[in-house]
Amino acid sequence: MKALILAGGLGERLRPHTEKIPKPLIEIGGKPILEWQITWLKRFGIKKFVLAVGYLGEKIEEYFKDGKNFDVHIEYSYEHKKLGTGGAIKNAKKFLESENGFFVINGDVITDLDPIKLIQKLDNGIGAIAVVPLPSPYGIIDFEDASGKIRRFVEKPLLPEYWINAGVYFLKRDIFDYLPDEGDIEKTAFPKLAEKGLLFAIPYRDVIWKSVDTHKDIKEAKKILEKANYL
């Protein structure tokens, strides 16, 4: 089983970090995001990787090489212009089309969710998306409706009635019939699959999940890993 990691983004909101290194090589607790991802997926038996790289992709290849030092096998799919997430997957077709299905991971996500659940619940669909509860960006105030008396303050809780895309997918190779040459899978292929009833959401509760998009996210991801005893 292979995993394609989308690692070609510019990481503009993380400058100046990303002026000299690509976003997936930004370190969280002394280890690049990509290395955290590879370590996580290895725990579930996934040891074959395709890294879809673009901006400063040679830096990623210099770090990981063929993956031997990390006890995995790594291949590289280079994009020479911005293709979007859908285009990047299609660009990597030659590495993936021999597989019945494969995982796709956004290269800025720190998580410990079990990706194998995506396969087990896919049924007759073409794609499965891991979804997690929406983390509130703000603290909330819990108070009595009648009196207005405040009961408690809750710092940035999860909102269990709302679910967001966790950036972890399992896709059957039929996905290539739906992918654009350029454009994001979330705006092109996924809506078409949903209309046909071929796309499934698999909810995950009580898992680590953090998308690293800003400088603040780097610090928060480190705290999350420390709390989970990964650091």
- pLDDT digits 0-9 by tens, 19-51: 889 999 999 999 999 999 999 999 999 999 999
Known active-site residue 156? yes
Average pLDDT over residues 42-65: 96
Query: How far separated are the first and last CA of the chain, in Å rounded?
Result: 28
In a domain, 47, yes or no: yes
In a domain, 144, yes or no: no
So what's the pLDDT on residue 14?
A: 82
What is the number of other CB atoms lying within 10 angstroms of the CB of residue 55? 19
> Angle, to 10 degrees, between the axis of helix 33-42 and the axis of helix 57-64?
50
Contact 5, 46 (CB under 8 A): no
SS3 at position 172? strand
Residue of higher predicted confidence among 205 and 149: 205
Please identify which of the residues 156, 192, 196, 219 carries the catalytic annotation.
156
In a domain, 46, yes or no: yes
In a domain, 12, yes or no: yes
Residue of higher predicted confidence among 114 and 138: 114
Domain holding 55, by residue range, is 2-132+162-227
Average pLDDT over residues 63-86: 96
Residue 183, pLDDT > 90, answer yes
Q: What are the φ/ψ torsions at residue 182 (nearest 5 degrees)?
A: -140, 140
Q: Which tokens go with 82?
A: 């911005």
So what's the pLDDT on residue 115?
A: 97
Contact 213, 108 (CB under 8 A): yes
Average pLDDT over residues 64-68: 97
The DSSP secondary-structure symbol of 44 reads T
So what's the pLDDT on residue 31?
A: 95
SS3 at position 51? strand
> How many separate domains does the chain show?
1
CA distance 85 to 179: 9
In a domain, 139, yes or no: no
So what's the pLDDT on residue 4?
A: 98
CA distance 129 to 122: 9
Answer yes or no: pTM beyond 0.85: yes
Contact 199, 126 (CB under 8 A): yes
Locus of tokens 């990981």: 64
Beta strands 27-28 and 31-32, pairing class? antiparallel
In a domain, 156, yes or no: no
CATH of the domain at 72: 3.90.550.10
